[in-house]
Amino acid sequence: MQKLDEFILNNQLIKSSDYLLVAVSGGMDSMFLLTYLHSKNYALAVAHCNFGLRGAESDLDEAHVQTFCELHSIPFHTKKFETALYANENSISIQMAARDLRYMWFNELCEALYDGKPKIVTAHHKSDHAETILINMLRGTGLKGLEGIAHISQNVIRPMLCLSRLEVKNAVADLNIIFREDQSNESDKYHRNRLRLNVIPELKKINPDLENTFLSNSKIVQQANNFIDYYMETIEKEIVSVQNKQTHVDVNELLKKPEPKFILYTFLVKFGFNAASVDDIYLAMNGLSGKQFLSDSHRLIINRGQLILKKHPQSCLDTYQVNKDTTHLYTPHHLWNFKITTKDWIIPDSNQEVLIDFDHLRFPLSIRPWQQGDKIRILGMKGHKKISDILIDKKLSLFEKEQIWVLISDDKILWVSGIALSEECKVCESTKKVLAITIANSLTSI
């Protein structure tokens, strides 16, 4: 207990004024944590997740935690989850699904019941920390993964990281703490269990002090990462810019830096790209424009000496209708304003404004993203031209092309937003009424 007291004090994990939401499964580690925190008279509540993975055993775990809380007058919260369904719907492992569901609910509890003030407390210990580092090494998560489990992460604290599993087991025996046994912990079905049961015992034959070695090394890695982060801020100012809500990396400036590939990896990992993807990007970045790479959250396009990053676009397949009385309309990339006028109009000199002969329109008009095969008879031309060719002539990147929309009347494209007006709806001397259209929040570079 003294070791735990000192760790909490030295790392300023808990203040006397804190309210704690303690994650308790009913197993050995979390029941020890709950017993300890209760003995210190901290203000706390308990959150128990019933993942429904072990049938009646899961319900018995819940009942055990609830009984302890009722006996000691501790507020108790529990929730049952469709864990297997969530894992299947999100194409992730059962363990990852349980983790996601757990923390989402914990934070919801904090906000709903306690105004977001509590600290969430989990029972991760030094042995969990070593297992996590090994798992991250096997997954290839880079230097960040070698930090292991942090004792403070936003509103989550882990005061037991100073204790090994054996120390917790001995303390539980000394204090005669009753806990629930999870038989799945003895199965090597899961990667973590396989490491704990089969790999770590072999490593401990080489280094009996394995957990402390991992803990010590992780602190050095954390210091190294802090050092890298500090200098990456300076480097990013020199090679990275934001244009039209897109992140640009200047390839020439990047290549002037020492270890440019490492810099690229350190930067791109924040956007969800792994080491293998960065290898491919690094090899391709001096090649032809247009090649693209995807992470779970972002897309990267190589374009004329630039690496351009943008979040995956939301679906833009909808078609919007414009009626005679429509005054404004929002689409994903534009705010459209419409005004009908019969006098004193001036032909605009901005590509964000256009005048259309009202008598050539058949309502409702429609607005949608441009598509392959779309054609327009550009003002001053006799024939039609493919919009894809127009965009190529403008030398637009793929990201910029995705922000181009078309205005349609009677199946004819009248305007390519910010690009081209059709000959078929031009204003002339005989025009009596016009529809004035302006767009905002569009691309200024085209």
Q: Six-digit token pair at 260?
A: 């440019």
Task: Using alpha carbons, select from 28, 346, 52, 338 the residue that is nearest to residue 166.
Answer: 28
Question: How many angstroms separate the CA atoms of 65 and 179, rounded?
Answer: 9
Task: State the Cα–Cα distance between residues 23 and 26, nearest whole angstrom.
Answer: 9
Pairing of strands 76-80, 43-50: parallel
Listed residue (436, 223, 432, 400) closest to 322, CA to CA: 436
Judge contact between 424 and 377, C-beta under 8 A: yes
Instruction: Answer whether 317's CB lies under 8 Å from 295's CB.
Output: no
DSSP letter at 314 equals P
Q: DSSP alpha helices (H): ranges in 207-305?
A: 210-239, 251-255, 260-268, 275-284
pLDDT at 441: 63
CA distance 342 to 363: 18
Q: What is the pLDDT of residue 446?
A: 34
d(CA 103, CA 97): 10
Sign for the CA dihedral angle at 81, 85, 88, 91 comes to negative
Fold of 2-218: Rossmann fold (3.40.50)
Using CA atoms, how far apart are residues 324 and 338, in angstroms rounded to an integer? 9
CA neighbor of 273 nearest in space, from 239, 301, 242, 234: 301
Superfamily of domain 320-440: Phenylalanyl-trna Synthetase, Chain B, domain 3 (3.50.40.10)
Give the full edge-to-edge strand order of the sheet including 420-421: 320-322, 365-369, 405-409, 412-416, 420-421
Pairing, β 365-369 against β 353-357: unpaired
Q: State how far the Cα of 167 lies from the Cα of 174, in Å rounded to an integer.
A: 11
What are the two backbone dihedrals, phi and then psi, of residue 321, each rounded to the nearest 5 degrees? Answer: -100, 145
The residue ranges of every structural domain in the chain are 2-218, 244-311, 320-440
The pLDDT value recorded for residue 393 is 85
What is the value of pTM for the model shown? 0.65
CATH number given to 244-311: 3.30.465
| Separation between Cα atoms, residue 157 and residue 159, nearest integer Å | 6
Q: Please report the pLDDT score of residue 313 as a whole number.
A: 61
d(CA 47, CA 109): 9
The two tokens of residue 12 are 């300023």
User: What does 213-237 look like in DSSP terms, one character per residue?
Assistant: HHHHHHHHHHHHHHHHHHHHHHHHH
The Cα 196–Cα 128 span in angstroms is: 9
pLDDT lower than 50: segments of the chain:
315, 442-446
Which pLDDT does position 129 carry in this prediction?
95
